[in-house]
Amino acid sequence: MTEKIHIFDTTLRDGEQSPGASMNLDEKLQIAEVLDSMRVDIIEAGFPIASNGDFEAVKEVSKSVKNSTIAGLARASLKDIDRAWEAVQYAKSPRIHTFIATSPLHMKYKLKKTEEEVLEAIQKTVTHARNLCDNIEWSCEDGGRSELSFLYRCIELAIECGAKTINIPDTVGYTLPEEFGKIFKNVKENVPNIDKAILSTHTHNDLGLATANNVAAIKEGARQVECTINGMGERAGNSSLEEIVMTLKVKKDLMPFHTDIKTESIMKASRLVSSITGFPVQPNKAIVGANAFAHEAGIHQDGMLKHAGTYEIMTPESIGLNKSSLVLGKHSGKHAFSEKLKELGYEPGDNALMELFGRFKDLADKKKEIFEEDLIALAEDRSASYDEHIKFVSLEVNAGSVERPEASLKIEMADKIKSIKMNGNGPIDATFNAIKKLSSTDFKLKLYQVNAITAGTDAQGEVTVRLEDKDLSSQAKGSDPDIIVASAKAYINALNRLIFKKSKSIKENSSNLEIRGV
């Protein structure tokens, strides 16, 4: 039996720190359930002190998850640690993850602490955490740029105070694989009590090296890997779970390790995270991109027909991807429809199923062939409907090269139908102007992107919209065979998310004031 690499997923914490990616409680619970069922060892569910919403999410995930260990993040502060424990204590297997920066740059400018003061903080906080919980992870933030001799002292002390996992992050995605691997090698050779802890690696993708750095760390002794679904995360993101897990699976010859991950659930997790956050997966993304298993060049197609191994290093089935196939038609019944959805990982309740079935029939009227991708878009479009403060009802657009484009839009708000006609520079501009006017909003449009879900001119269009208001942003998708209707749906979905986030942030600010007794 090969040695096990523990998978620590931080989609709900570091992943949620991607600008515009915040998720509500229900969405976090859905993601946690999928991570648990795919046998992720540790789920970092959030940063409980960050807000009441984060605290509730970590607490509810702790209560609901059946197998995975649940970690809550805390800075090197007793208050942070108490709050993290308050949230994770409900888990079957709770963990407190506490961290402090150890690089000269961070200590001098961010913490304004000397080395001795940082050591003192480690001693105080790790001991405190250990008195609450017997599973403590300690991280040296900006470990990739820390001085090795100081890192050894910090790690030895954290282990002495009870940390069972020592995580070394390349916080700013700065190191090269060889350089990062050497840190692990040196730590293993120079920290006297290192055998009492598991070494963990946590990498960021600023130079596109996150997964390569994780691989290098594993080769030099890391036995826990921190990662996120689709590589979500701060700035350029984190190392992605699917890349590291599949690398370990495919490269067994050179890396004699295994993970417990059920790799057939990878696509399901990827689609869920993408649909909840509204972050599309780039088509050429390793493992989960739409083109990851597509073969365009004739010479490749010829090779594939003769032997799949000629151009495929892993099978699409191993990540839960079925070949694009014609699945249902206009005469398919509700039972076949619900069975197919179940197979794709969606199990809507009775009412939602009826609504989806109605929309499937409408789609089948417009589009001769319905593919799995169409059903996924349909199911995700519904799960993306965010508290539906505003509902799309209908849209008619006049456009072309003669008249100024005009959109006639109907939406439902607070149980009332509202309609308006607006002009614009193009049909999309006219449609968005109509939504803004009816909803009395004018948020900044930061991203507008159109993709075709399947091939053919009758394919559904999938539109992604990101809206921004000061420090809050939201991103969402919409799909329809008509790309202008898909655009309106995506805009309304993003608007609902932003309105929800704005009201949540107002509530949280006022309750945080209450907590502080203001």
Binding residues for Zn ion (CB under 5 A): 14
**From ligand KIV, Zn ion, none, interface partner of 99 (C-beta below 5 to 8 A by class):** ligand KIV
> Which residue, 233 or 478, has its beta carbon nearer to Zn ion?
233
Shortest gap between Cβ of 243 and Zn ion (angstroms)? 16
Rounded to whole angstroms, the Cα distance separating 123 from 76 reads 10
The entry of ligand KIV, Zn ion, none near residue 139 (CB within 5 to 8 angstroms by kind) is ligand KIV
Least CB distance to Zn ion at residue 171 (A): 6
Signed CA dihedral, 299, 300, 302, 306: sign only? positive
Among 139, 205, 213, 259, binds ligand KIV (CB under 6 A): 139
Question: Which range binds ligand KIV by CB under 6 A, 164-172, 184-192, 207-215, 365-373?
Answer: 164-172
CA separation (Å) from 368 to 336, 364, 372? Answer: 17, 6, 13
Contact, 490 vs 467, CB < 8 A? no
Q: How far is the CB of 75 from ligand KIV (least distance, A)?
A: 9
CB of 153 to ligand KIV, least distance (A): 19
H-helix or E-strand spanning residue 118: helix 115-132
Q: Are 463 and 483 in contact (CB under 8 A)?
A: yes
- Least separation in angstroms between residue 180's CB and ligand KIV is 13
At residue 251, the 3 state secondary structure works out as coil
| 3-class SS letters over 436-476 | HHHHCCCCEEEEEEEEECCCCCCCCEEEEEEEEECCEEEEE
Looking at the chain, how many residues does it have?
Answer: 518
> Per-residue string for binding with ligand KIV, 14-53, x by CB under 6 A?
x---------------------------------------
Contacts of 407 (CB under 8 A, 6+ apart): 395, 396, 397, 421, 422, 423, 424, 427, 430, 431, 433, 434, 484
- Residue 141 within binding range of ligand KIV, rule CB under 6 A: yes
Question: Which is nearer to ligand KIV, 157 or 483 (by Cβ)?
Answer: 157
Q: Considering the complex, what minimum distance in angstroms separates the CB of residue 169 from Zn ion?
A: 6
Asked if 169 touches ligand KIV (CB under 6 A), the answer is yes
Q: Of 238 and 265, which CB lies nearer to ligand KIV in the complex structure?
A: 238
Tokens of 236: 């350029």
Tell me how far, at minimum, the Cβ of 64 lies from ligand KIV, in Å: 24
In the bound state with Zn ion, the residue whose beta carbon lies nearer, of 98 and 439, is 98
Q: Is 8 in the site for ligand KIV (CB under 6 A)?
A: no
Give whichever of 163 and 498 is closer to ligand KIV, judged by the CB atom. 163
Among 8, 99, 138, 180, binds ligand KIV (CB under 6 A): 99
Residue number, 68 or 213, with CB nearest to ligand KIV = 213
**Residue 424: Cβ within 10 Å count:** 18
CB distance 194 to 229 below 8 Å: no
Name the residue nearer to ligand KIV (CB basis): 224 or 496. 224
> Sign of the CA dihedral 424, 436, 481, 297?
positive
Structural element, H or E, at residue 202: strand 198-203
Rounded distance between C-alpha atoms, residue 18 and residue 294, angstroms:
29
As a whole number of angstroms, the distance between CA 154 and CA 116 comes to 10
Within a 13 Å sphere around the CA of 141, how many CA atoms are in the beta-carbon half? Answer: 16
Closest C-alpha to 27, from 195, 216, 223, 274: 274
For the segment 296-315, give every residue that binds ligand KIV (CB under 6 A). Answer: none
76-84, 163-171, 263-271, 339-347 -> range binding ligand KIV (CB under 6 A) = 163-171
Residue 213 binding target from Zn ion, ligand KIV, none, CB below 5 to 8 Å by type: none
Distance of closest approach, residue 14 Cβ to ligand KIV, in angstroms: 5
When CB distances are held under 5 to 8 angstroms depending on the partner's kind, the choice from ligand KIV, Zn ion, none that residue 16 binds is: none
- Smallest gap from residue 138 Cβ to Zn ion (A): 14
- Dmax (CA) for the chain in angstroms is 78
CA distances from 104 to 101, 108, 142, 143, 169 (A): 9, 6, 9, 10, 15
**Near ligand KIV by CB under 6 A, which window of 156-164, 165-173, 209-217, 392-400?**
165-173
**In the complex with Zn ion, which residue's Cβ is closer, 107 or 486?**
107
DSSP per residue, 386-450: -TTSEEEEEEEEE-SSSSPPEEEEEEEETTEEEEEEEE-SSHHHHHHHHHHHHHT---EEEEEEE
Size of the site for ligand KIV (CB under 6 A): 9
For Zn ion, the closer of residues 216 and 492 by Cβ is 216
Nearer to ligand KIV, 229 or 485 (CB): 229
Nearest-approach distance from CB 96 to Zn ion, in angstroms: 17
Separation of alpha carbons 31 and 28, rounded Å: 5
Tell me how far, at minimum, the Cβ of 511 lies from ligand KIV, in Å. Answer: 25
Residue with smaller CB distance to ligand KIV, 158 or 467: 158
Q: Which listed option, ligand KIV, Zn ion, none, makes contact with residue 141 (CB within 5 to 8 Å by class)?
A: ligand KIV
Cβ proximity to ligand KIV: between 21 and 319 the closer is 21
Backbone CA torsion sign across 443, 446, 450, 453: negative
**CA angle, 5 as apex, 74 and 81 as ends, to 5°?**
10
| SS3 call for 44 | strand
Interface characters, 186-215, with ligand KIV (x: CB under 6 A): ----------------x-x-----------
Cα separation, 277 vs 18, whole angstroms: 10
Q: Interface with ligand KIV by CB under 6 A: which residues? A: 14, 99, 139, 141, 167, 169, 171, 202, 204
